[in-house]
Structure 1
Amino acid sequence: MNSSLAQRDSINDGRTQYSVAELSSLLEAIGRGDRQAFAQFYDATSTRVYGAVLRVLRDRGFTEECVQDVYLEVWQKAPSFSRASGSPSAWLVTMAHRRAIDRVRSEQSRSDRESRYAMLDDALGTPNDASASFLDRRPVMSALGDLSLRQRECLFMAFFEGLTYAEAADRMGIPVSTMKSRIRSALANLRADPGIACLAE
């Protein structure tokens, strides 16, 4: 590696300039279980990792949690790092970006599930008190039986399997808009069923 490339790929932690070779050596030491090397590597790179993750998540709390996950992964995967496979900074930033994207998808999936459960509660008229556990659920099952096979499949995938709209649509081989339309139609049918309406009383 020539000196100009090494200079471009070095990291400055505000106190010390670390070259590619030095960062590689630290990672190799981490791979052998060297905690001091890990602390030094963290000090040298955490500012850059934090910035990369924050650009994706745009939330400081989530970013701090994600950065912790990144460095846990560094500790676990350092033994597999190879100088031949690329620079330490590229290896680290790729890892951080992947973790951030995973966090975005996880939060979106959680938000989708909460929205679907809220829709289902509204459709079924689920009571807010403890009496809900004693309700006869047979009207619900009967109403579900009156739906079309496609509507039931969509509801079960979305509400009971916890799939996102996109995941359920992909499984059925239909557009996401069609999946959402079928679920809305199924919920409308449930709301119109007198057996379901009595649950809210």
Structure 2
Amino acid sequence: MEGPGTADDRLLHQRVVGGDESALSEVHDRLYPLVLGLAMRVTRDRSVAEDIVQEVFVTFWERPLAFDPDRGSLRGWLATIAHRRAVDHVRTEERHRVAAIGPRLTEPEPSPLEDWVLAADEAARVRLAVSRLPGEMREAIELAYYRGRTYRQAAVELGLPEGTVKSRIRLGLRRLADELAEKEV
């Protein structure tokens, strides 16, 4: 888990706790790409991923006190919720698929601790693979996926045309996919 939340996290959290809808909108705008991307990677279904994104932000709006900025960042907390919901969806779909096929021998489901260990290991491998990318690709991917920037925001920060940033991200993701597939991540 990430370290304590930033001052910005704390301020946004306080505003959401106070019922400020514009604060939730700011959180949504900043972290939507991250939450959607994570849900899509797990479910491989945009429609399902968008439903998960909605659930994540509704959960934060309805129960903002569940987030504790002293324990981690808002980004990490929302990503964790999105990942859990996406994994739950995939598992439910798999159970339905297996039930439709009929009883078979299946492997026991991993425990939450096993899930956490596997997710942490996978995240470390992905971070290492990202660090090996050429600088311009790595920088664009880090802005989009680790800092939750949109293509347009990343382009402004990098001082580049939006199309260039999109291309760098697309090429970088392709390289990452190839490298991670070789390592079975």
Q: TM-score, normalised by structure 1?
A: 0.47
Q: What do the CA deviations read for 1:157-190 (whole angstroms, capped 9, x no partner)?
A: x6xxxxx9659x89xxxxxxxxxxxxxxxxxxxx
Which residue in 2 is equivalent to 1:31? Answer: 17
Q: What do the CA deviations read for 1:107-141 (whole angstroms, capped 9, x no partner)?
A: 1112122223xxxxxxxxxxxxxxxxxxxxxxxxx
Return the structure number with greater relative CO, CA threshold 8 A, min gap 6.
2
1:76 to 62, 72, 84: 62
Structure 1: gaps (5+ residues): 10-18, 117-157, 159-163, 171-201
Structure 1 letter corresponding to 2:30: A
Query: Which protein shows a greater Rg?
Result: 1
Whether the 8 Å CA contact 1:54–1:60 is kept in 2: the answer is: yes
Which residue in 2 is equivalent to 1:67? Answer: 53
Please give the alpha-carbon distance, in whole angstroms, between the structure 1 residues aligned to 2:40 and 2:71.
26
Is 1:95 the counterpart of 2:81 in the alignment? yes
1:107 to 86, 93, 108: 93
Is 1:52 the counterpart of 2:38 in the alignment? yes
Q: Equivalent pairs: percent with the same residue? A: 31
Structure 1 letter corresponding to 2:25: A
Change (3 A) 1:166 1:32: farther
Please give the alpha-carbon distance, in whole angstroms, between the structure 1 residues aligned to 2:10 and 2:38.
20
Which residue in 2 is equivalent to 1:43? Answer: 29
**Structure 2 SS opposite 1:84:** coil
Paired residues in the alignment total: 108
Please give the alpha-carbon distance, in whole angstroms, between the structure 2 residues aligned to 1:166 and 1:28.
46
Structure 2: gaps (5+ residues): 110-185
Q: How well do the aligned residues superpose, as a CA RMSD in angstroms?
A: 2.9
